[in-house]
Structure 1
């Protein structure tokens, strides 16, 4: 099972070398066939030049520049339309996500044949390092609201770090979110449309270089829009978008 890793990158010249080297070394050591797909989101610094140099030492690295429209959601969507693997993970370029956790996600998918594997920083075994206090408070409140309104038994929906089968990604299209609210759209659509998921603890470490691209005050209404969209689909779509049953399951159910 080939693993693709989609990484959006905007002005990440300082962070991305360590991120990509660590990711490639870990996946290679574990014998995992993989592709690293970086979307250079029209960076204004030297991110493109850094990627060009890194491609000379990392044979599984593929990168393209998204000329626009730009934004976190558009950058991730660019990669999700072009990856070549049987499954795909979304990771950050700033080394906040641990490649060792990705290995655990991948092994869990192999073991369980789940349609998706979701990371959680807030279950036993998960941890956060240098997580800003205000951001943590907003995170926990937002995830509580999502759990109550959607009914999902999962406490870290806003965490972008997740792994999906190719069939799952195809089944939750079309994508709507141009911004960070894509991190909520992907797992909630997977849940609402009947795709199975496993939860694996993961860690999160605050970035060493640069500054976060997430502007909390700009995202509230956008997250709420996606939440309402998924609620409407869950309660009023009459199952039109549910995961298609396999021929084997259909036979068993008759």
Structure 2
């Protein structure tokens, strides 16, 4: 059993070394092999250099394309039996890794974090309301039946990761909804697990109006892509 942990990173020089050291210390205690995959989304700081100092060769994007594109690149490069991604600030309890692996081993295709009642209430009101509103609109348009589509922790079986990420088209934050839609389209089993949150980061990068418009466009593109049959079996690009 091998687990691939993907960390999309953009200008994370201030914490990426601590993140990698923390992940290594945790994963070394496990009973399976692992690989760390850092995808540097064209950072303007020393992120890539600092990642190399920790013995990890980052995958470097030629241009800043967004979190979705970074996760997709990492997922398609992964060699693990379980492929998961989490945020560079490690906001979720790391026990989520073992829990998600157990779900995949028991037959789930995906194991996704859900932040309801897990410490997320301590995060900023704007961030929580924006996330809830997007999940509501996502379910209205895509009929996913998933309350928290935007949690930054998701795990996939290797086959599910390949099926999904060869079809994902969205480069930005809307990729989560697209990935879940593709999973539903292919009849995959999606298990939800409580994603216990650590202390919230200082500040917020959420811009409700700008991000809301961008995400609505992403959702409409998913609907259009589905009508064109782009998510159907046989339509994904080869790895």
> How many residues of Structure 1 are paired with residues of Structure 2 in the alignment?
233
Q: Counterpart of 1:43 in 2: which secondary structure?
A: coil
Q: What's the CA shift for 1:206?
A: 5.4
Match of 1:58 in 2: none
CA RMSD of aligned residues (A): 2.5
Aligned counterparts of 1:150 and 1:29: Cα–Cα separation in 2: 39
Match of 1:186 in 2: 179
Aligned counterparts of 2:215 and 2:156: Cα–Cα separation in 1: 21
Confirm or deny that 1:103 pairs with 2:94: no
Match of 2:192 in 1: 199
Aligned counterparts of 1:79 and 1:53: Cα–Cα separation in 2: 19
Q: What's the CA shift for 1:46?
A: 1.7
Aligned counterparts of 2:64 and 2:52: Cα–Cα separation in 1: 22
Q: What's the CA shift for 1:41?
A: 1.7
Aligned counterparts of 1:167 and 1:221: Cα–Cα separation in 2: 33
Match of 1:121 in 2: 115
Q: Counterpart of 1:81 in 2: which secondary structure?
A: helix
TM-score (norm 2): 0.85
Superposed counterparts of 1:35-50, under 5 Å: 35-50=35-50
Q: Deviations over 1:38-97 (max 9, x none)?
A: 011221112122112111xxxxx4422212253222222221221111221111111223
Confirm or deny that 1:169 pairs with 2:161: yes
Q: Which ranges of structure 1 fall in alignment gaps of 5 or more residues? A: 56-60, 244-254
Aligned counterparts of 2:19 and 2:64: Cα–Cα separation in 1: 25
TM-score (norm 1): 0.81
Q: Counterpart of 1:195 in 2: which secondary structure?
A: coil
Structure possessing the higher radius of gyration over alpha carbons: 1
